[in-house]
Structure 1
Amino acid sequence: MPSERDRRQARVTSGLVATVIFLTAIAPLATDMYVPAFPQVAGDLSATATQVQLTLTTFFVGMALGQLVGGPVSDQRGRRRPLIAAIVLMAAASVVCALTPSIGVMMAARFVQGFSGGWAMVIGRAVIVDLATGARLVRLLNVVAGVGGIAPIAGPLIGAVILQLSHWRMSFWTVAALGVAMVVAALAAVPESLPPERRHGGGLRAFAVAGRQVLANRRYVGYLVVSGSAMGALFAYVATSAFVLQSMNGMSPVAYSVDFAANAAGMTVAALVAARLAGRVDTRKVILVGQIAALAAGVAMLTGSLWFGTPLLLAVVCFLVLMTAQGLIGPNGGALASAEVPEHPGTGSAILGFVQWVAAGAIAPIAGLGGEHTAVPMALLIVAGAAASMLGLLVLARGQKLRPGEESGLNQGRDHAGRCR
């Protein structure tokens, strides 16, 4: 007779994996399809650049809270019903975004969209963890992370096509339609993977206890700073690049979207290269190379924006270097963070994801404080983010040496880092 483990693994179907990949596309699609339209949104809703960027902030804060809360609650209530409810809410919030009469309504709807989307993402990953173990679990989550990396590349291109053929509001109607498709996919392919006998009542209280233990680890906190600060620098670019390249340099929405996709591809390639280097090159050195590159890009961008009017070629090159550097910093920083707390991998991953999305949300409006015609605040934030990331690596997380048997923990950490992005 097959063991319980075999029965659990047999329930992992291709449809389930495809649905979880679909769910991981929520954040990049809901963000990247919309970013090329920032100048048009500002004009249509009579909003400033900072107000438009605040719609990113509310979305990212919602994502952070959704991931932080959704996991513990689903441990108590099960997976399937909370997942479907979250997707339905996400689709409804997308409809409100499409119909919004003002920037204030947009901000509120984006928060709900982010919260429900983050909730759905974390439950989708939890279903995979419930049903697979060992090497199979690692393979499945790598597939989810790898295929899901296509969404940040496709998102801006889809958004540009929508802008050419229709209105920016159609981007949100598209996300709402995808939400309906996600509901159908979840109903058809996602089982209840956490039966009542395996649920626990610890919930948020147990998570808080574990969180205190994790945050007592100095090196974990150091790698938290590494990843969170890098995420802040990244989203200074995401929030402001449309204004820098379109409003300041006259780039068309299609050209901007192609450039955005190329930068996302650079980050993906760098992450894959970093994965191949694991075990061959000291991971901390790989992170440091990325941090130096990001800092150099920020300094060059600041110099160009202060004294040379932010020329197009300089901005394009700096953005490519910055995004590629993130592929070396983010996944590796998250991997080392999770490897520091092997006794609480889920808690470590949840806190990491929370910090990253809060950093993204906090940085977005600050980057636009100077308005649509200056890149100085963005460049300062990139420099500050890269410098803080280096501080986390070289000071807070200093002195770490690979210990016997740590490579498996590092691989597990990579997996958790991929899940929280």
Structure 2
Amino acid sequence: MQQAPSEDARPVLKAQLTAGLIATVVFLTAIAPLATDMYVPAFPQVAGDLSSTATQVQLTLTTFFVGMALGQLVGGPVSDQRGRRGPLLAALLAMTAASVVCALAPSIAVMTVARLVQGFAGGWAMVTGRAIIVDLATGVRLVRVLNVIAAVGGIAPIVGPLLGGLILQLSHWRVSFWLVAVLGLAMTSAVLVAVPESLPPERRHAGGLGNFLAAGRIVLANREYVGYLVVAGAAMGALFAYVATSAFVLQSMNGLSPIAYSVDFAANAAGMTVAALIAARLAGRVSTRKLILVGQLAALAAGLALLVGALWFGTPLVLALACFFVLMTAQGLMIPNGGALASAAVRDHPGTGSAVLGFVQWVAAGTIAPIAGLGGEHTAVPMAALVTAGAAVSMAGLLLVAKPVRRTP
């Protein structure tokens, strides 16, 4: 009777970072961009069909971001307590169910609540997938794998808007949510096949609000972790300042066609993907902090150039195209590497560390995006200022807060 449990435990203890597992985590990272980017092109149709205003439809995007942030904040500690696989499967099923409700939503109120649940479950799944990687990889390998995940996951922001536009051309906006539901079932199947339990019982932490707060205090007391948290969070804010306003800058202010804008958006996302792949290739050969700093300097230069162009030259097209490409490429060096070093700094609490990191990043995204658009369709000054500030704050996190600790041999 006592031998069977020990045999059952062996696969858990021998869980390995396989190609199938990495591919599944990449799949999980596609939740947010697919659930967002496929839906955004349909805003006018959603407003008409659900008899709502543009502001009410925009609120469904905000609630999704809020759900993403809260889901990561709660999901990480729960997975530290109960293991990774079970909570991950539950989150994916909840996300699938919420997507079905979105597809059938009879009113904007139902849609808003369903989007909150969809974001919450999606954030839970994403942070748990990241924690699995942290469980099974360390050092250079952790940095390399997280960069590869970010690079391959960068395909989703390219495909999302194009797929959403195609769905609108051929069918109805509700089809995009049915597609997300189908993808949720596919993700569930992939986890069942390729993802073992990566956190054995002896490495789990006790649950409860008190333990969660205690673990949160531990990770936030780690100065190195907080520094890299600032690095990745501020970079995420700069990224979403671009995402929220680039369409207005390039189309409304510079007359770019929707097709040309989609091509440029895809090219910028490709730059981010290539940068992350290069960073993965250089892991172990070049200091990860140096790669982050290169990205920060590039992002800061792009932000300053955009700010000068917005204040005195009306943000000319060539300047905007060049600066957006540099900014997005720089994110491929800043966000994955900052996140990897943050996770490495709190290896005793990977779920909580990933949860706080994800929470900060998505709060930054949800907060910065509407602020960047305050100037309306005819000025890029708020966006340029936010990009510049994001790069500067990220750099301060690296150079002033996350100073490497000198350890005595």
- TM-score scaled by structure 2? 0.81
Give the letter for the 1:295 counterpart: L
Counterparts of residues 171-182 of structure 1 (less than 5 Å): 171-182=176-187
Give the letter for the 2:213 counterpart: A
1:158 correspondence with 2:163: yes
Moved more, 327-336 or 117-126: 117-126
Match of 2:374 in 1: 369
1:214 correspondence with 2:219: yes
Identity of aligned residues (%): 77
1:283 correspondence with 2:288: yes
Match of 1:67 in 2: 72
Provide Cα deviations, 1:375-412, integer angstroms capped at 9, x if missing partner: 222222111111211222232234x367689xxxxxxx
Q: Which runs of 5+ in 1 are unaligned?
A: 406-421
Provide Cα deviations, 1:41-63, integer angstroms capped at 9, x if missing partner: 67877645x76554443222211
How much has 1:279 moved relative to structure 2?
Answer: 3.9
Match of 1:307 in 2: 312
8 Å CA contact 2:240, 2:365 repeated in 1: yes
Query: What secondary structure is seen at the aligned counterpart in 1 of 2:314?
Result: coil
1:338 correspondence with 2:358: no
Match of 1:262 in 2: 267
Moved more, 259-268 or 209-218: 209-218
1:25 correspondence with 2:30: yes
Distance 1:314 1:29, change over 3 A: same
Give the letter for the 2:206 counterpart: G
1:85 to 77, 87, 90: 90
Task: Work out the CA distance in 2 between the residues paired with 1:210 and 1:77.
Answer: 15
Task: Work out the CA distance in 2 between the residues paired with 1:221 and 1:286.
Answer: 19
Provide Cα deviations, 1:119-140, integer angstroms capped at 9, x if missing partner: 122334556677x5779x9587
How much has 1:6 moved relative to structure 2?
Answer: 5.8
1:328 correspondence with 2:330: no
How much has 1:95 moved relative to structure 2?
Answer: 3.5
Task: Work out the CA distance in 1 between the residues paired with 2:90 and 2:319.
Answer: 46
Distance 1:201 1:42, change over 3 A: same
Query: What secondary structure is seen at the aligned counterpart in 1 of 2:76?
Result: helix
Distance 1:388 1:133, change over 3 A: closer
Distance 1:129 1:287, change over 3 A: closer
Counterparts of residues 7-406 of structure 1 (less than 5 Å): 8-9=13-14, 18-37=23-42, 47-48=53-54, 54-77=59-82, 79-100=84-105, 105-126=110-131, 147-186=152-191, 201-398=206-403, 400=404
Distance 1:294 1:39, change over 3 A: farther
Moved more, 268-277 or 192-201: 192-201
8 Å CA contact 1:38, 1:242 repeated in 2: no
Task: Work out the CA distance in 2 between the residues paired with 1:86 and 1:339.
Answer: 25
Task: Work out the CA distance in 2 between the residues paired with 1:68 and 1:61.
Answer: 11
How much has 1:335 moved relative to structure 2?
Answer: 2.9
Cα root mean square deviation, aligned: 3.7
Task: Work out the CA distance in 1 between the residues paired with 2:246 and 2:222.
Answer: 36
Q: Which runs of 5+ in 2 are unaligned?
A: 1-5
Task: Work out the CA distance in 2 between the residues paired with 1:281 and 1:5.
Answer: 37
Moved more, 260-269 or 5-14: 5-14
Task: Work out the CA distance in 2 between the residues paired with 1:229 and 1:393.
Answer: 11
Distance 1:23 1:34, change over 3 A: same
8 Å CA contact 1:72, 1:204 repeated in 2: no
Moved more, 271-280 or 62-71: 271-280
Task: Work out the CA distance in 2 between the residues paired with 1:184 and 1:235.
Answer: 31
Task: Work out the CA distance in 1 between the residues paired with 2:84 and 2:303.
Answer: 42
